[in-house]
A and B are shown apart, each in its own frame.
Chain A
Amino acid sequence: MGRKKKKASKPWCWYCNREFDDEKILVQHQKAKHFKCHICHKKLYTGPGLSIHCMQVHKETVDKVPNSLPNRSNIEIEIFGMDGIPAEDLREHERQKNGGKSDSDDEEPAAKKKVEIPLTAPPPMMMPPNMMPPHMMGQYAQYGMMPHMAPMPPFLGPGGIPMMPTHMMPPRPLFPAAMAAATTSAAAAAHAVAAVAQQKPTFPAYSNATISAPPTTNNPNITAPTTSSASASGEAPKSQVVTSTSGVTSKIMHPPEDLSLEELKARRLPLKINSNNLAASSSNRSNNSTPNTSAVTAYSTGLTSATSTSSITTNAANAAATAAAISKAQEVATMAAVVQAQAQAQAQAHAQAQVQAQVQAQVQAQVAQAQAHAVAVQQQQQHQQQQQQQQQKQFEDLNRVVMLQRIQQAQAAAAAVSRPGATAAAAAVGMVKHLSQNTASM
């Protein structure tokens, strides 16, 4: 912009000289940077306010305004946003600004560029990072508006979407978000709070804005879309941890392997779900082993990359890299050995179980046989007894028949010999009687 206009309109902080787009942001900045209690982090509204707070609550004196320029550290002077700035300092600032513009841009402190992350004018998105369920759905209206922001690069910076403002100096870094990330995360967090007036993208990537932006990798273990540091290595992190801008650490309750829960559970049943018929079992085993081999190949590629980079670094680094590679290889070997041992143990257990089952079956068969035998023997005995009884009966019958015949014969003989001699008849009768008695008694 050519002519020098009176630029008192741009708010600036008296304590550290930084400029802001908006007075609201300036106030937030002051509260976070200059009026914040270093003991309890409570944010006060003014310098004197901070001083009184520290005295009353912590019994500590504050003599300098934190993070202030040496000539602007007076805690007694009451500044709130742009109010309270002494007229002289105002003028001085104006002069400096106008003078500085015509000069080289290098005088701009790096910090200033970082701070000047002008926030676009999206609709106000006051979204606390952890949505309480009843309010959760309230943000859909806002989510719905996210598509408007789709074209913007989703820099997950400290809290703003960096854009190139027209009045910025040329040597402005291309990636202020990246630069900002390079500073302390605490400062970033503070900035996030400071910049919350206009916008607080909790999970900007997790809106339909990024539906248009295809995901970068297939790896389900990626953490937050830009914080790739956690999963930089080929191996998945032990637990899937996501850290959001607001500093909440989230952990996904899922085993780290890239398999579904059903596949993981099925792996623990080697007999059943993995190998039912021999033809398919081999292919299935190869399916199941691919995760392991991919892990191994990940390790090996990790190793090769380590050794390739070591050629560029110094010897000391070289030695360290190879040492690390060796230990990694050892780890892999032990892991493989452990897996093998487990597999063997399982196979042994299975074999034992089979043997036991066989033995049991045999025993049972024997028992059954013995029982059958016993039953057969019993039956035979019963049969024999029956036979004997029958035989006895037959004998008895025969005897009776014989006896009756003899009696009849005797009676007939007695009748035929009825005249000659009563004694003989009497004797015969007596004999008959005797015989009949005998018969009756039998």
Chain B
Amino acid sequence: MFGQSSLGSTSTNRMNDFEVVAPPEDSVSALEFSPATVQQNFLIAGSWDSSVRCWEVEQTGKTVPKSMKTMGGPVLDVCWSDDGTKVFIASEKQVKIWDLASDQQMQVAAHEAPVKTCHWIKSSNYTCLMTGSWDKTLKFWDTRSPNPMLAINLPERCYCADVDYPMAVVGTAGRGLIIYSLENSPTEFKRQESPLKYQHRTISIFRDKKKAPTGYALGSIEGRVGIQYVNPINPKDNFTFKCHRSSGSTGFQDIYAVNDIAFHPIHGTLVTVGSDGTFSFWDKDARTKLKSSETMDQSITKCSFNANGQIFAYAVGYDWSKGHEYFNPTKKPQIFLRSCYEDLKPRTT
């Protein structure tokens, strides 16, 4: 797509990728490209510095800052509406809608504790916003009304969630895992035993060959990803694999959290980004790794593919994995973009 970056690899741009200009001042907590309904590529990043920033990403790799909004507190999640005209921002205990055309924002949802996830649901007979919070509830909002149209109790605090109509999946504290069906109205479909033994951190739904959601990838703090099918034909279909670990050849192995997982919209292959500062491309059907990146200067906190799968964005910044002592406010976060269509092609065998 856009060719080689004209920048050489600097000390922090280890992969010689395109660096997004004017990044946030604190770690990126949410990173989303605009949906396919929008012709251009817009990138939204929510950050711990309470800002939400929007850039346009041009074909050449150049990023143009378009707009920025400052919230009352750290932003934990963002999502686009299906038509790409509005952005939902989860900041502290509220979710606000940001109309990009009018540059207006308005509150649309609220919880008793910080909202960790927000996802827009578009079905044939309804649209709504799904919000998951540390107050152990999952709420669904018709954005025109101040009260939720539906509230579901979770067994524990919501840590991660994903929506791909008609499926939604939520990972909670205490290794909880619940799958919801969104047809007609959101209902709990089933609870699954977590394939991972450690705290859930990120979850992402994948589709089958017919482009219907069929399972999810779950990442934990223990450098491991579980691939689970909602209805596995064969129990062997479910498996886990280890990732984001140092080699251990010296007798000591460091295990890092998987901070984010994203599936390529076309190829169906996936990427994991880790606390160790690397990203890796995987083919879950061939059960093989496709590529591993160099180690970045800081952890990679979030990643996203653009709508046509040409651009892979990843955000580098401190994720608190070593506690507050290792927080260095002078080390600024960065967001990088790379052309990824070829790298993520599945293994043919």
Contacts and interface: CB of A to CB of B under 8 A. Distances in A.
Tell me whether A and B are bound partners.
yes
Interface of A: 129-134, 136-138, 140-141, 143-145, 147, 205-208, 211, 214-215, 218, 220, 222, 225, 242, 247-255, 258-266, 268-269, 272-273, 276, 280, 283-284, 287
Contacts of B173: 258-260
15 contacts: A136-B289, A147-B235, A206-B242, A211-B195, A215-B194, A248-B248, A254-B257, A255-B322, A259-B173, A262-B29, A263-B134, A266-B114, A269-B73, A272-B50, A273-B114
Contacts of A141: 287
Contacts of B254: 250-251, 253
A140 B93 contact: no
Contacts of A263: 134, 157
Contacts of A284: 93, 112-113
A130 B247 contact: yes
Contacts, number: 161
B276 A253 contact: yes
Interface stretch (B34-42, B183-191, B196-204): B196-204
Contact of A140 (B241, B255, B321): B241
Interface in B262-303: 275-276, 280, 282, 286-289, 292
Contact of A136 (B74, B195, B242): B242
Given A220-B199, A262-B29, A255 B73 contact: no
B112 A208 contact: no
B255 A208 contact: no
Tell me the dominant secondary structure on chain B's binding face: loop
Contact of B321 (A147, A205, A254): A254
B240 A251 contact: no
Contact of A253 (B195, B255, B282): B255
B249 interface: yes
A168 B329 CA distance: 65
A252 B257 CA distance: 8
Given A265-B320, A273-B73, A251 B252 contact: yes
A205 B224 CA distance: 13
Contact of A269 (B74, B76, B321): B74
A129 B248 contact: yes
Contact of B253 (A134, A250, A272): A250
A172 B87 CA distance: 67
B278 to A, nearest CB: 10
B3 interface: no
B116 A206 contact: no
A342 B91 CA distance: 26
Nearest to B71: A272
B256 interface: yes
Contacts of A242: 255
Given A248-B252, A262-B76, A273-B74, A208 B320 contact: no
A126 to B, nearest CB: 17
B144 interface: no
B167 interface: no
B253 A249 contact: yes
B133 to A, nearest CB: 11
Contact of B197 (A206, A208, A264, A268): A206
Contacts of B321: 253-255, 261
B319 interface: yes
Interface of B: 29, 48, 50, 72-74, 76, 92-93, 112-114, 116, 134-135, 157, 159, 173-175, 193-195, 197-199, 201, 221-224, 235-236, 238-242, 245, 247-249, 251-257, 275-276, 280, 282, 286-289, 292, 319-324
Contacts of B76: 262
A266 B157 CA distance: 14
Given A251-B253, A254-B221, A147 B236 contact: yes
Contact of B248 (A130, A206, A283): A130
B72 A264 contact: no
A205 B74 CA distance: 38
Contacts of A247: 251
B275 A253 contact: yes
A216 to B, nearest CB: 10
B287 A252 contact: no
Nearest to B29: A262
B201 A260 contact: yes
B199 A266 contact: no
A182 B49 CA distance: 53
Given A136-B241, A207-B239, A283-B113, 8 more contacts: A207-B240, A222-B197, A248-B252, A253-B276, A262-B114, A265-B324, A272-B73, A273-B74
Q: Which of A145, A252, A253, A259 has the most CB of B within 10 A?
A: A253
A69 B249 CA distance: 36
A68 to B, nearest CB: 30
B26 to A, nearest CB: 9
B50 to A, nearest CB: 8
B74 A252 contact: no
Contacts of B320: 255, 261-262, 264-265
Nearest to A251: B254
A331 to B, nearest CB: 20
B159 A260 contact: yes
Contact of B286 (A137, A205, A260, A273): A137
Contacts of B249: 130
Contacts of B92: 272-273, 276
A225 B134 contact: no
Contact of A287 (B113, B199, B242, B252): B113
Top 8 closest pairs, chain A to chain B, by CB: A140-B287, A137-B288, A272-B73, A130-B248, A144-B236, A250-B253, A261-B320, A137-B287
A175 B193 CA distance: 28
Given A137-B287, A273-B73, A252 B255 contact: yes
Contacts of A283: 112-113
Contacts of B319: 261
A272 B74 contact: yes
B323 A255 contact: yes
A215 B197 contact: yes
A419 to B, nearest CB: 95
B224 A206 contact: yes
B29 to A, nearest CB: 7
B174 A218 contact: yes
A265 B320 CA distance: 7
B197 A225 contact: yes
Given A218-B174, A273-B114, A253 B197 contact: no
Contacts of A261: 201, 257, 319-321
Contacts of B275: 253-254
A257 B288 CA distance: 33
A272 B91 CA distance: 10
Contacts of B252: 248-251
A99 B221 CA distance: 58
